[in-house]
Amino acid sequence: MTDKRTDENKRKKALIRGAGDLATGVGAALHRAGYQVIMTEIATPMTVRREVAMSRAVYEGHVKVEEIEGILVSDYREAEKVLKEGKIAVIIDPAADIRKEFCPDVLIDAILAKRNTGTTREAAPYVIGLGPGFTAGKDVHAVIETMRGATLADIIYDGVPIPNTGVPGYVGGYAIERLIKASGTGTMEPKAKIGDIVKKGQLLAVTGGKPVYSQLDGVIRGMLQEGAKVKTGLKIGDVDPRKDKKLCYLISDKSNKIGDSVVKAANERLSDEGYAMILLAAGKSSRYGDNKLLEELDDGKMYEHTLRKMRAFPLCTQVVVTRFAEIEEVSEKQGMTVVENHEPDLGIAHSLVLGLKAAKRENPDLKGAMFIVCDQPGLTAGTFARMLDMGKNHPGKIICAGRKGKMGNPVLWDRKFFFELEQLLGDKGGKQIMGAHMEDVLVCEAEEAELQDVDEPEQLRKWEKIYGESGKSGKKA
């Protein structure tokens, strides 16, 4: 694999909470992608797959996983030296306080505690959580699915991953049988070591004075170190039924796949800085009969759901055009630029122009601007992500959410259309320009439910259930 590391001053920084085997897969992927990587650990790591985990550096001072070296450091000054040598720095720092000196571009919580142990969206410009315990758009910007299966390593921008089942994924036709669990509380006494070929029923360890036997034939892929303090039922090792010894010393396919997704999410979202997301929330709701944006929908008001989805893209310039005090107050609390529009009779084009001008003031070097409306209950943050990524890959184009030839909102405009957008008048918005540039329009396929807007109260109730499910099940990019 090609090492893409560049000049030190241009290398992005990644801080990973945790240094177990899965976290190490993430660290290796980021390192190979050119990031400077620091990994934090607790004082006594309990890593089963020790041969492929940077956490081993806590006990040994130095570790090599595949071709990548990890060095234990005691402070940031030592970490800087290790990073300059092209290695990964490992530090005992459960709270990840080193982030205050390191100032990472991206922070990844890879502790896999099945709960959030203190990571917040404010910890870094971009924050990713791995597995259950995190909610994208709430405590982290994105979540990576860690459950084996068709959705493994999916990037979730809105919602949660599959809940923890307590049952490992199938490998070689076996799942729960692969686990080696402590039979008693006390000290770990291994009777087999990593890389050993074992038989079903063979003694593998003694924990708290009680024997632990293998449940299948295979190779010991992971085993806790001698002397570790364990409790009954704790996972202390695993047996791989494929009996391939070299797999004991290679980062797993699962860890590699998750690592690749972390790199993808980090690279794509850290490049959002040149784009704006502009929410148009000043409409009259004349057909609805009341302010539909303030209507309750699932566990919040309609506009709040849209703001939550926008939170998944913190590096975008974010602007809200509104005339409603409540929306203005909430948006400002989230750090968004608010523009007041008290002339809704001038049409949607007026809001569009106000928002674009405000975004350009915030970032004169904008490459593109996405215009979003509040009244599409089914719209997902995953569609926002796909549209932004399409815009980066196809400069000079108009990216429109749509389905099977039907175009809708949102729409991402390249900067070459800004002058025309600023001349708009009336209630047709960008459609006036799009019709004259159809050769430049690319459609980002979205689900039918995402393109449906709410103009009447009956439609709101119809889509409430769909929206609630989309917000809770996790929507990938």
Fold (topology level) of 8-166+252-267? Rossmann fold (3.40.50)
| DSSP code, position 42 | -
> What is the dotted CATH code of the domain comprising 176-241?
2.40.50.100
Q: What is the dihedral of CA 87, 270, 448, 471, to 10 degrees?
A: 80
Crossing angle, helix 381-393 and helix 253-270, to 10 degrees? 70
| Per-residue model confidence (pLDDT) at position 465 | 59
CATH 2.40.50.100 maps onto the chain at: 176-241
How many other C-beta atoms are found inside a 10 Å radius of the C-beta of residue 250?
Answer: 14
In the chain, what is the straight-line distance between the N-terminal and C-terminal CA atoms, in Å? 26
In degrees and rounded to multiples of 5, residue 288 shows phi and psi of -75, -35
Q: Residues 6 or more apart from 7 whose CB is under 8 A from it?
A: none
| Per-residue model confidence (pLDDT) at position 374 | 85
Q: Which residue has the tokens 């996405």?
A: 370
The Cα–Cα gap between 67 and 2 comes to 12
Q: Residues 6 or more apart from 67 whose CB is under 8 A from it?
A: none
CB 410 within 8 A of CB 384: yes
- Name the β-bridge partners of 275: 368
The Cα–Cα gap between 250 and 351 comes to 55
The Cα–Cα gap between 477 and 441 comes to 21
CB 41 within 8 A of CB 55: yes
In degrees and rounded to multiples of 5, residue 368 shows phi and psi of -170, 165
The Cα–Cα gap between 236 and 183 comes to 10
Cα angle value 317/322/328 (rounded, 5°): 75
Which pTM value belongs to this model? 0.89
* Lookup: tokens for 394: 């196809």
CATH 3.40.50 maps onto the chain at: 8-166+252-267
- Which helix or strand (DSSP H or E) is residue 13 part of? strand 13-17
Q: Give the CB-side neighbour count of residue 157, counting CA atoms within 13 A.
A: 26
* Lookup: tokens for 285: 């709701």
| Per-residue model confidence (pLDDT) at position 476 | 57
Chain-centroid distance, C-alpha 219: 33
Task: Estimate the share of the chain in helix, then strand, then coil, as percent rounded to the nearest 5.
Answer: 35, 25, 40
Cα angle value 21/242/45 (rounded, 5°): 20
Closest CA to 38 of 94, 90, 115: 90
Instruction: Encode 72-101: b = buried (16+ Cβ within 10 Å), e = exposed.
Output: bbeebeebbebbeeebbbbbbbeebebbee
- Name the β-bridge partners of 363: none
**Cβ burial, residue 235 (10 Å; 0-12/13-18/19+):** middle
The Cα–Cα gap between 141 and 119 comes to 11
pLDDT in tens, the chain (477 residues): 344 444 555 789 999 999 999 999 999 999 999 999 999 999 999 999 999 999 999 999 999 999 999 999 999 999 999 999 999 999 999 999 999 999 999 999 999 999 999 999 999 999 999 999 999 988 999 999 999 899 999 999 998 999 987 777 788 888 899 999 999 999 999 999 999 999 999 999 999 999 999 999 999 999 999 999 999 999 999 999 999 999 999 999 999 999 999 999 999 999 999 999 999 998 665 455 457 777 777 667 888 888 989 999 999 999 999 999 999 999 999 999 999 998 888 888 899 999 999 999 999 999 999 999 988 878 899 999 999 999 999 999 999 999 987 899 999 999 999 999 999 887 777 888 998 999 999 999 999 888 888 766 566 666 665 555 444 434 456
The Cα–Cα gap between 163 and 135 comes to 11
| DSSP code, position 140 | B
| Per-residue model confidence (pLDDT) at position 473 | 39
| Per-residue model confidence (pLDDT) at position 430 | 86
| Per-residue model confidence (pLDDT) at position 3 | 45
| Per-residue model confidence (pLDDT) at position 409 | 92
**Sheet-wide strand order for 235-240:** 179-181, 235-240, 218-223, 197-198
* Lookup: tokens for 397: 């184009």
- Name the β-bridge partners of 317: 276
CATH 3.90.550.10 maps onto the chain at: 271-476
| Per-residue model confidence (pLDDT) at position 8 | 52
Strands (E), 208-352: 210-213, 218-223, 229-230, 235-240, 275-281, 296-297, 300-301, 317-322, 337-340
Cα Rg of the chain (Å, integer): 25
Q: Which residue has the tokens 């008048």?
A: 425
Closest CA to 154 of 381, 377, 370: 381
Fold (topology level) of 271-476? Spore Coat Polysaccharide Biosynthesis Protein SpsA; Chain A (3.90.550)
The Cα–Cα gap between 421 and 358 comes to 13
